[in-house]
Structure 1
Amino acid sequence: MATRDLAIGIILSLQTIVGILGNLSVLCFHLFLYLTRCKFRSTDLIIKNLTIANLLVIFSRGVPQMMACFGLKDFLNDFACRHVFYVHRVSRDVSIGTTCLLSVFQAIMISPLNSRWAELKVKAPKYIGTSSIFCWILNMMLNIILPLHMTHKKNNTNFIQKRDYDYCYDILHGNITPKLYVALILCRNGFCLILMVWASGFMVFILHRHKQQVQYIHRKNLSPRSSPESTAMQSILVLVCTFVSLWTLSSIFHICLAVFNNPSLWLRNTSTLIAACFPTVSPYILLSHDARVSWVCFAWNGIQNLLNFS
């Protein structure tokens, strides 16, 4: 095994472990809220869908690529190879769409009651479940032809063009089809990106205006802690900046993979690392800006103290 492959395998292993632990922590956190009958927020269902999509992205792309870096390149049969790539593509698109849905929903809920969105603000929570299911179904339908282009490494058929993904082959039917498919994906994801940036900018504007209106209340508060508006703005800005930067990098590498018929091993591995960055870091961003986390930690410490005392 080459030293470069070993180093990339170790990096992918660390990223996979950190991503799995972070997303499982989010699911355990919401499970604890459910068991303690804590009041749920309207965005909790969206966050749980985002967490599941993130886990599927890590398991379907990060884990196979990590195993390939360690020398295991023929561990998937034809059926598994087709469906692993299909699950990865669907879950990745659902992760992007759900992040966009989260931002738009927050923008609707934070809008003033006297705005033209007042009626939509009342109806929006009722359609969260429907919107999440629609996001999954839509992306499953849009990527339905992807398994037809994948085959396992043991397939000895002489294809005219194929792209090597270390553990699977992507069969290329001409030069125009892959590039057109990538262009359509980038346009769709770009639309989600524009919606997310607009919604986040709208929220920051509303929160900043609200902070100015109640500024005299915060002046009387001698506590060094940040105001709720500042905390909310920081959460929005961190999530948006992380998403925009990683999405831009990931799009650049996807374009390179589509342009080159035989991309280098470095390009494939770097693309995998960047594609898994947002599913890895997003749960930590969400947990670090959720005020209920401190309450859960306090309750858990109280339970442990009671058990030790008894």
Structure 2
Amino acid sequence: MSSRNLAVGIFFLSQTALGMLGNLALLCCFIFADFTGVRMKPMDMIVKHLTLANIVVLCKGIPQTMAAFGQRYFPDDISCKLMFYFHRVARGASLGSTCLLSVFQAITISPSNSSLAQLKFKAPRIIGPSLGLCWVLYLLVNSFIIMTVTDIRNKGNLTEFRQFVYCFVVNISKLSKFYIIYLILLVFNDVVYLGLMIGASGSMVLILFKHKQRVQHIHRSLSTKSFSETKATQSILTLMISFVVLYGSSVILILYFPFQDVTHTWLVNANVAMNACYPALCPFLLIRHYTRVFQLCST
């Protein structure tokens, strides 16, 4: 085994293991809180869906780790299709959940005289349907992937495929019309979510800035509720900025694929690693806000 493959294997193993540990710990604490009847905030439902999507995205790091360590395991046709399909669905659901988290927090901290304040009482009731719509939307949009992915065994004309380490993907030139439609739908959904996320984050920054100016002279009298909302907003802003940076890097790599005659292994590994960075980092960015959940589980 070469030193490069060993380094890639160790990186994927560390990233997948730490990400899985953080997301599973957070998800288990939420489940434990549900069973014990502890009343959770409406925002916690979004975080649970986000955590679940992160776990599915991180699962793709397992075959990448095995391939880097030289394990000769090749999934069958159905396994390849399901692996790529649910990875893309979970990636989209992660984007939708992060967007919804930003929008909901912007509504929560909005002052009573703002236009967003009118949605404060309606927002908790539409969280569940919004999350369900997000999952259904990406389940439908990414169904195109099922037709383009196949296993690596017994393939005759290899010029029609691109090898992605352990599976094959049909060349874009063979499915140009379908691929263009798929890209339009995918880009449209992503642009809408990213636009909402950036707008909500800008609104939160403006609200926090004005709030800081108002309470500078009465800092000691700042209420605990206001402090907790500020801390939650800061955590979500950090989460959103991390997502936009890592997601943007991943999109650049995806758009780079069609211009390459041969799909290089390092390019595939880099794309999978960038996709998994946010899911692996996400629970650790939320830990500061959800220390109460971990304290509950420890008792």
TM-score of the superposed pair, with normalisation by structure 1: 0.86
**What is the CA distance between 1:270 and its match in structure 2?**
1.0
**Would you say the 8 A contact 2:101–2:236 is kept in 1?**
no
Q: Distance in 2 between matches of 1:106 and 1:85?
A: 32
**Would you say the 8 A contact 1:56–1:91 is kept in 2?**
yes
Aligned to 2:266: 266
Aligned to 1:307: none
Aligned to 2:208: 207
Q: Distance in 1 between matches of 2:209 and 2:291?
A: 20
Please give the per-residue CA displacement for 1:78-101, whole angstroms capped at 9, x wherever unaligned.
Answer: 111111111111111111111111
Partner SS, residue 85 of structure 1:
helix
**What is the CA distance between 1:35 and its match in structure 2?**
4.1
Correspondences of 1:143-222 after superposition (within 5 Å): 143-174=142-173, 176-177=176-177, 178=179, 181-182=182-183, 184-219=185-220
Correspondences of 1:1-310 after superposition (within 5 Å): 1-59=1-59, 61-174=60-173, 176-177=176-177, 178=179, 181-182=182-183, 184-219=185-220, 227-228=227-228, 231-293=231-293, 295-296=295-296, 300=298, 303=299
Identical amino acids, percent of aligned pairs: 41
CA 190–131 in structure 1, closer or farther in 2 if over 3 Å, else same: same
**What is the CA distance between 1:67 and its match in structure 2?**
1.4
**What is the CA distance between 1:144 and its match in structure 2?**
1.0
Please give the per-residue CA displacement for 1:48-72, whole angstroms capped at 9, x wherever unaligned.
Answer: 001111101111x211211121223
Q: Distance in 1 between matches of 2:37 and 2:287?
A: 19
Whichever of the two has the greater Rg, that structure is 1
**Would you say the 8 A contact 2:104–2:123 is kept in 1?**
yes
Partner SS, residue 132 of structure 1:
helix
Partner SS, residue 169 of structure 1:
strand
Opposite residue 203 of structure 1, the aligned amino acid is: M
Q: Distance in 2 between matches of 1:258 and 1:198?
A: 31
CA 74–229 in structure 1, closer or farther in 2 if over 3 Å, else same: closer
Partner SS, residue 170 of structure 1:
strand
**What is the CA distance between 1:208 and its match in structure 2?**
2.5
Q: Distance in 1 between matches of 2:271 and 2:256?
A: 9
Q: Distance in 2 between matches of 1:101 and 1:258?
A: 31
Partner SS, residue 114 of structure 1:
coil
Opposite residue 31 of structure 1, the aligned amino acid is: I
Q: Distance in 2 between matches of 1:138 and 1:227?
A: 36
**Would you say the 8 A contact 1:182–1:258 is kept in 2?**
no
**Would you say the 8 A contact 1:257–1:268 is kept in 2?**
no
Opposite residue 4 of structure 2, the aligned amino acid is: R
**Would you say the 8 A contact 1:54–1:95 is kept in 2?**
yes
Question: How many residues are treated as equivalent by the alignment?
Answer: 294
Partner SS, residue 113 of structure 2:
coil
Opposite residue 194 of structure 1, the aligned amino acid is: G
Uncovered stretches (5+) of structure 1, i.e. residues with no partner: 304-310
**What is the CA distance between 1:184 and its match in structure 2?**
4.7
Q: Distance in 2 between matches of 1:183 and 1:66?
A: 32
